[in-house]
């Protein structure tokens, strides 16, 4: 039963990640990307944190822990720069996806850490 719940959490996070990636890729294709040399420093920071979160959506398919950490930290930094946690209904999904991937990793490999059977290679799974 636990494996089923872990699988549901993992695939829900992946499905939401693919949806979010395609959603922002569609906007980038339709509206284009501004030149970073012409942006204000705050917008440049927002742009690069946004790109880090998009890259993390790809990384999380292979390295769940690393991608989840990048998503959570990236969205937290994005929120600090933007001076609000809830900007609109779309951006907090990055944070939620990161938490789901971290939760999935903890359920799969955290038990091994608690029992003392943890191997370093589990970090990069």
Note the pLDDT of residue 99: 93
Note the pLDDT of residue 122: 63
Does pTM top 0.95 for this prediction? no
Left (φ > 0), alpha (ψ -120 to 50) or beta: where does 3 sit?
alpha
Q: Are 78 and 50 in contact (CB under 8 A)?
A: yes
pLDDT under 50 in the chain at which residues? Answer: none
pLDDT in tens, 37-51: 888 888 888 888 888
Note the pLDDT of residue 59: 92
* Tokens found for residue 39: 């942006």
Note the pLDDT of residue 68: 92
For 62, which DSSP code?
T
């Amino acid at each position: 039963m636990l494996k089923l719940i872990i699988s549901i959490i993992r695939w829900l996070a992946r499905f939401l990640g693919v949806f979010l990636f395609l959603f922002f890729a569609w906007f980038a294709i339709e509206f284009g990307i501004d030149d970073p040399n012409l942006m204000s420093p705050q917008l440049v920071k927002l742009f690069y944190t946004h790109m880090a979160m998009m890259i993390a959506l790809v990384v999380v398919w292979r390295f769940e822990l690393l991608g989840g950490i990048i998503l959570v930290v990236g969205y937290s930094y994005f929120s600090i720069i933007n001076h609000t946690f809830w900007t609109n209904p779309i951006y907090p999904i990055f944070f939620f996806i990161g938490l789901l991937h971290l939760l999935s990793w903890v359920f799969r490999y955290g038990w091994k850490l608690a029992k003392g059977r943890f191997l370093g290679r589990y970090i990069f799974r």
